[in-house]
Amino acid sequence: MIKLLIYEDNPQLREGLSMLIDGSDGFEVLSAFKHCGNVVEEVTAFEPDVVLMDIDMPLVNGIEGLKKIREVNTTVKVLMLTVFDDNKNVFEAIRNGANGYILKKTPPGKLLEYIQEAASGGAPMTASIATQVLKMFSDIHHQTNDSYNLSDREKQVLQLLVNGYSYKMIAADMYIAIDTEKLHVNSKSEAVAKAFKDKLV
85 and 22 within one domain? yes
Residues of the domain holding 157? 152-197
Answer yes or no: is 25 within a domain.
yes
The C-alpha atoms of residue 84 and residue 54 are separated, in whole angstroms, by 10
Helix, strand and coil in the chain, % to nearest 5: 50, 15, 35
The C-alpha atoms of residue 17 and residue 28 are separated, in whole angstroms, by 11
pTM (global) more than 0.85 = no
User: Hey, is 30 helix, strand or coil?
Assistant: strand
Q: Could you tell me the pLDDT band of residue 93, with boundaries at 50, 70 and 90?
A: confident
Of the given ranges (30-34, 115-119, 128-132, 153-157), which has the lowest mean pLDDT? 153-157
Q: Could you tell me the pLDDT band of residue 1, with boundaries at 50, 70 and 90?
A: very high
Higher pLDDT, 20 or 182: 20
Report the domain count for the chain: 2
Please check the confidence at residue 92 and state whether its pLDDT lies above 70.
yes
Task: Please compute the mean of the pLDDT values over residues 181-194 and round it to a whole number.
Answer: 53
- Per residue in 156-181, pLDDT tens? 767 666 666 665 665 666 555 555 55
The residue out of 107, 140, 173 marking a domain boundary is: 140
